[in-house]
Structure 1
C-alpha cells in the first residue's frame, strides 16, 4: 500500500515561530496525530501550570529546566539537564520553568490539537471575550 504523503523535512529557519507567552517561542511540525515542537525558553520564564488528555514527552537539548508535576500539596520538582526526558501521563498537572536559557523538544501522541495548543492562555481569553461580546451584540462569533 502506497502512503498518502511523502516524508517531510521541516527546516528550522523555515518554521514559523509561535509566541507562547513571555520568553517562549515554539516551532511546531505535525503529521497525522503526532505533534513535535522545538521550544526556546529564556531564563526565568515558565509554561503555565496545566494538564491535557494526550501523553507528552519533553527532552531537554540545552540549558536547565525545573519540571513540576502533581497537584497542589503533592508537587514534585526535579531539575533537568541536557538529555533528560520528562514524561507526562494523561491529565497530570505539570509545568516547566527555565532556570537558564533552554531549548527542549516536546512530542504529543494522537489526539492533540496543535492549533489550539499554539495559542497562549491570554490569546484564548481574548478570543473568548471577543466571542462573548459578539454574542451580546447579536453578531456571529469571530
Structure 2
C-alpha cells in the first residue's frame, strides 16, 4: 500500500493574538487553521487569492470592503480576490481558511 502524502507544517505566530497552521497545500489550493485568542485580530489586508472562511469555533467580527458583520460556529463565506478584509475575535476561536491558489508566503 502506498504511503499517504501528508505533510506536517509547524504552527506559526502570526501576531495580534493569532496562530496560523497550514493543514494541506498544493499549487492550486491551501487549507489553513487560524487560532485566535479573545481579542485577537487579523488586521485589514488584501491578497490576489480567493479565500473561503469557515468558523469552526468562536465568534468574530469581519470587515470586507468596509462592510462589517458578525459570524459564529458553522458560518462560512467567500472573500473575492484583492478585497480588503480583516477580523476581530469577539471570543477565542478557530477559522479554517482555504486559498486558491496556494499562499506561498505561508510556506
Which TM-score band (shorter chain)? 0.7 to 0.9
What is the aligned length?
Answer: 105
- 1:45 matched to 2:40? The reply is yes
2:17 to 12, 16, 23: 23
Give the Cα–Cα distance (whole angstroms) in 1 for the partners of residues 12 and 106 of structure 2.
11
Structure 2 gap segments, 5+ residues each = none
More strand by share: 2
TM-score by length of 2: 0.86
Distance in 2 between residues matched to 1:8 and 1:26, nearest whole Å = 21
Q: Distance in 1 between matches of 2:18 and 2:41?
A: 8
Higher helix share: 1
Give the ranges of 4+ consecutive aligned residues of structure 1 lying more than 3 Å apart after TM superposition: 6-10
Whole-angstrom distance in 2 between the partners of 1:15 and 1:90: 25
What is the 5 A alignment of 1:1-142?
Answer: 7-9=4-6, 15-28=9-22, 29-70=24-65, 75-110=66-101, 112-114=102-104, 116-117=105-106
The alpha-carbon deviation at position 24 of structure 1 amounts to: 0.7
Tell me the distance in 2 between the aligned counterparts of 1:94 and 1:46.
11
Cα RMSD between the aligned structures? 2.0
Equivalents in 2 of 1:7, 1:109: separation in Å? Answer: 22
**Taking structure 1 as the reference length, what is the TM-score of the superposition?**
0.67
Tell me how far apart the structure 2 counterparts of residues 100 and 82 of structure 1 sit (CA, whole Å): 11
